[in-house]
Amino acid sequence: MVSEHEITSTIAKLQGSGKTFAEFLVEIFKDKIIEVYVGDTYEDINTEQVSVSYPAVFCGKLIAAYRECLILNCAFTSGRHLQFGNIMFINERAIRALNEIDGKGILKDMMLRSEESLDVKEIFDRK
């Protein structure tokens, strides 16, 4: 799990270095399992009253970055079984959100409605 301190320290260390967003992400998440959201929807479920979209994510171990390219050892399904070994290259400009898979919530869980904003503030104010 990456801490706020690690992130701010890495930002300070890389300030003025010319590193790209992808290269910054490798400094933080190298060899960690992450999920990357690029803005696509995996599935839309529509009923007469409700429409729900599920965000599509790529999951994998962050291997490296080359300039604006993030390189993952990606998970994929073969039949019904998940496995690793598919190397994926993602342009940093396509990334809408990224999260370490660390048991503290997935991207889908972090996409909240505006009406939940005050609840979020209340939780932070308690700390």
Q: Tens digit of pLDDT for each residue in 33-72? A: 999 998 887 777 888 888 877 788 899 999 999 999 999 9
- pLDDT for res 22: 96
d(CA 62, CA 98): 11
Give burial (CB, 10 Å; 0-12/13-18/19+) of 69.
middle
**pLDDT-based confidence at 7, cuts 50/70/90?**
very high
CATH fold label, 4-126: SH3 type barrels. (2.30.30)
CA distance 64 to 97: 18
Residues in Cβ contact with 65 at an 8 Å cutoff, skipping those fewer than 6 apart: 20, 22, 23, 25, 26, 71, 92
pLDDT of residue 88: 95
Classified as helix, coil or strand, 27 is helix
| Residue 60: exposure state from Cβ atoms within 10 A (0-12, 13-18, ≥19) | buried
Using one digit for the tens of pLDDT, what is the confidence trace for 66-120? 999 999 999 998 888 999 999 999 999 999 999 999 988 888 888 888 889 999 9
